[in-house]
Structure 1
């Protein structure tokens, strides 16, 4: 390893300022996990990506890129950057997350020496290797859904000198063979907590994962497993978010049609949904709905039932909502927002989550407070 790489790695550890993970950051060479190419956006277009190749970059520039505290996209729409010959259109499907976020996630999960960890989403393998460096490779099991991403990560992890248990498969199913785990940590966002994670964590163990829903609302869950097989905990103050598990992505949205169905005045200002926590609350109330905005309107569409709602401002003040279909989406959203406002409009950390084999309930304030079921 070059002196320049070592210098940059030590500087990165200084910037991250994590006592618990400092030695691991100093030890693990991030440049290995970027492979031979990464993507950058093609000018102002956020849906077009151009590969940056290591072979066409000076060694110093490549190392500077690797040790910048920045996320580097490594796969777009299933195409690894090494395999791209020109501009690739689409959305990122794998990336090397910025190191500060990786370390924040590991700290939030309260991972420390002696823990046995199940990681959902190997990705490039950088976070996997950090855990190997601190905990020992035998303590780490990591699952990756995409075979190409998994192969790329396995090579990088091996080059870094580690040999944890690496599994190619659906991380939502966990990995029962190495259970029970002290910590289950997910580097992908989920709509609901997969039950295998609950079953494979030991009593007193924890589940830490970012959560995301079809409206785009996010929260960061940290749950402790109880002796009775349930798990509960409050959402954390950090709004960490990772790419969503592919099985939990929203379905294609149908064409938007507005102004149909029954009309009435709205009891809330629809612009409240521009607030991150309000959007999270609205999503709890209408978890099957997707949300969009345009021409002063807020639009909700529930693909599963065909239900719709849209709001628009009135010339004389206020807003009119139209609702169509079996589910009155705006009724549910209004009620949830008013309940949240009545409690003082707390951040997501003012909510908690309790899960069992047959229920996943988000609650406001305390477990006995107002609550909403996550989708089955």
Structure 2
């Protein structure tokens, strides 16, 4: 079966930092009360996209708080995430002009570093870091399909390079490309020298979590000093003795989990978009999470076949919605196609009483005269 990869989902992230179970820290603080010149502070302390910080939410919330005049400070501590969400946020910040300052409070990695480049001014404490590398995706299909995906990723990389050169205009494309190939980590001083940062601020306490520390630890070339700082930061938070201890997060091989997702989707003959769904929904957290997500995609595909709407399989699977939500959409589609409203009133369960009627003489006589009712039987002699 030929698998097509249309609009592959690109990630520019150090690694998965969690499962979206509530570790998100994203807020916009409007400190204008009585202080007309007070800045709007935006905290991007999570992954970009998916269960983290989605561009649509960011733009909506920022527009609601922004008066078009006051300065905006975007505080960043993120391992990155979805390329397209990050590019959208980058472009929004650029359009706001010289009112925007990006402050890298700990780490701006991958697409989070691209978001920082959208600000007019980038400030880094002297213990913060910035990381750049190539975008990544999961793909499957024939050789021609994979070549097309590779070409698409090269184009996406050029988009990221263009974003970096907004700040580091003195760097040539080849040098930036080589740095991305090698997964380059930059200190505040190095970022300032190359043009990625405009100012170095005094050291601040780095905010970290066990999930972020684990994610950065799985990334190539992660500096020892950064890992130590993240570890110290996570351990410096006093434990909450009233709550249950958090389960130990076991590191998994994301590449192996992505390969398993592609293999299972291909074996089940699911649409090519199913692989992206499995990667997003399962976060490649474990083999069981991948298998559960594949089974959900299979169930949704089978529902569309039962409803005789197979053309909806790809869109419902790609949407990343639950089985119940997919069932509801199929039901609504069937109702619309029927062209009439369904009556949801429960039926009257009162039993119908039979109507009594007396004997009919004509009917009885007719039955007796009927040849079928009175067959002639010929018996042999014994």
Instruction: State TM-score, norm by structure 2.
Output: 0.24
Structure (1/2) with the larger helix percentage? 2
Whose radius of gyration is greater, 1 or 2?
Answer: 2
Question: Whose relative contact order is higher, 1 or 2, with alpha carbons under 8 Å and at least 6 apart?
Answer: 2
